[in-house]
Amino acid sequence: MVILVDENTKVIVQGITGRQGSFHTKLMLEYGTKIVAGVTPGKGGIDVHGVPVYNTVEEAVAEHPDANTSIIFVPARFAADAVYEAVDAGLKLVVVITEHIPVHDTMRFVNYARIKGARVVGPNGPGVISPGKSKVGIMPGNAFRPGKIGIVSRSGTLTYEISSALSRAGYGQSTAVGVGGDPIVGTNPIEVVKMFEKDEDTDLIVLIGEIGGDIEERVAAMVAKGEITKPMVGYIVGRTAPPGKRMGHAGAIISMGTGRAEDKVRALEEAGVPVAETPSQLVSLVKKMLEGR
């Protein structure tokens, strides 16, 4: 079944004529993603890598009514309007790759999407991939292979590194979701973990966390209460970060006595979730949990 994206995902690329939009459209097409249209205001009528371009999402959906997903590459100052446009056109999944979006803009469009029954993934994340089915994002497709491990991550780079290590060891992924590194994101790890819990194609969950916030502790509480029953392995980035130090992501900052790596590790381990110190150790933990070795 997998989650969020599959072989039935039909994508509209907003910002398709820009450098990043064009580049990643080509890679997504090569992976097998079904991209039905692109949107750039004022560029309607051309095509990019064989994909027709429209001036608005509304026009694109009118010509391609089977479209159900958008991926956004537009600059930060236009990103909120792009999300509103996608949601108003009836698209149910909006993947926002753009970084440096003001937090108040994100808060508004995330809330608007929820009210309208749409889901946002991101911003400032790598997107979503269900290996062998669809890639709606910027992750390198060769790092992933079809399998039964669901990955949810606050770190884009580690999503690729850990998926690649698992793949080399023979453990494929059902879906990998990079939720984004901003303080406010459209879909958080708790929501993704709940989706994996219900997904019949996911046998084990890998949670890649970071310093900052309390998401990982809240996941641990769910496991402790029996709300999450599937086996889980954790990995926390930023164990050596001093208080007040930001580690790459706007959301990865320790402040006011919360968000420390040791607290996240402790909470997960007390809930019965083993936490790896390195990607290679994570592979060993996955092997032990799946094969009982």
**Do 216 and 189 touch, CB atoms closer than 8 A?**
yes
Task: Tell me if residue 100 is catalytic.
Answer: no
35 CA to centre of own chain: 18
Helix axes 279-291, 156-168, angle to 10 degrees: 50
Q: What does the block give as tokens for 73? A: 């590459």
- Of residues 244, 239, 166, the one with CA closest to residue 205: 166
**Do 149 and 171 touch, CB atoms closer than 8 A?**
yes
Please state the three-class secondary structure of 252-269 as a single string: CECECCECCHHHHHHHHH
Strands (E), 154-268: 173-178, 204-210, 232-237
Q: What does the block give as tokens for 271? A: 């809930």
User: Rounded to an integer, what distance in angstroms lies between the CA atom of residue 131 and that of residue 277?
Assistant: 26
According to DSSP, the β-strands at 173-178 and 127-130 are: antiparallel
- Of residues 27, 24, 28, 23, the one with CA closest to residue 9: 28
Q: Which of 24, 49, 100, 249 is catalytic?
A: 249
Task: Please give the positions annotated as active site.
Answer: 249
